Amino acid sequence: VNGEVFMHPLETRDVSAASIIRECSTNGNGVHTDDGVGVWLDTPMIELKGGEGTIEKRIPAMMRMFGKYGIDIRKEPILVYPTLHYQNGGLDIKADGMTEVENLYVAGEAVGGIHGRNRLMGNSLLDVIVFGRNAGKNASEKSKSVDVADLTLSHVDSFEAEIKDAGIETEVVSPKLLPDYTRKVNNK
């Protein structure tokens, strides 16, 4: 909010998340939006420090993703929120890549416990490639002996009933890929 740097940009994920949370709640310096309280990530500074083309070279997928919404992250900072992205963990897996749920195999960032709480940037390749290959091979083999039941969407109805029973009323759509930058952004 105040244009002040409040953490080193190369901190570990847990320190980054804690810093953002502290800035938004304890220090009261967050940007208040309909989607919650966040902070500005100074993406144009990446281009200033690294030279023109740095974002396109280093994080092209992010540039394209925001570009679809008319946001040029080379020229505009973006709002970030402390979310599950900053937490490592996920589903516990067995050596073959299967979760505790029979016949459910996972790989990538959905897997928990491979790197501990401070996975370094880029190490998700291990999750994707090594464990993805392992889970894929084992899921393929397992599929040969599984009888598939009738497919239904009853789990959606069960989830809606759980929400209703818990007294939760929400209009929030999930998953949310990007915050809506065009709605009522209030700086506090």
* pLDDT classification of 156: cutoffs 50, 70, 90: confident
113-138: pLDDT as tens digits: 666 555 555 566 667 788 889 899 99
- pLDDT > 70 fraction of the chain, expressed in percent and rounded: 76
**Whether 13 is catalytic:** yes
* pLDDT classification of 173: cutoffs 50, 70, 90: low
Domain that holds residue 99: 88-143
User: Is there a single domain that holds both residue 19 and residue 33?
Assistant: yes
User: Is there a single domain that holds both residue 40 and residue 69?
Assistant: yes
User: Is there a single domain that holds both residue 58 and residue 107?
Assistant: no
Taking the model in full, what pTM does it have? 0.49
In a domain, 3, yes or no: no
User: Is there a single domain that holds both residue 112 and residue 60?
Assistant: no
Q: 93, exposed or middle or buried, with CB in 10 Å at 0-12, 13-18, 19+?
A: buried
Q: How far apart are CA 46 and CA 55, in angstroms?
A: 7
- Residue 179 near residue 172, CB atoms below 8 Å: no
User: Is there a single domain that holds both residue 39 and residue 61?
Assistant: yes
In a domain, 154, yes or no: no
User: Is there a single domain that holds both residue 49 and residue 68?
Assistant: yes
User: Is there a single domain that holds both residue 81 and residue 98?
Assistant: no
User: Is there a single domain that holds both residue 79 and residue 98?
Assistant: no
Q: Which residue has the tokens 């989607």?
A: 35
Residue 85 is encoded by which pair of tokens? 């992205």
> What is the gyration radius of the CA atoms in the chain, in angstroms?
20
- Residue 96 near residue 134, CB atoms below 8 Å: yes
Q: What was the pLDDT predicted at 24?
A: 85
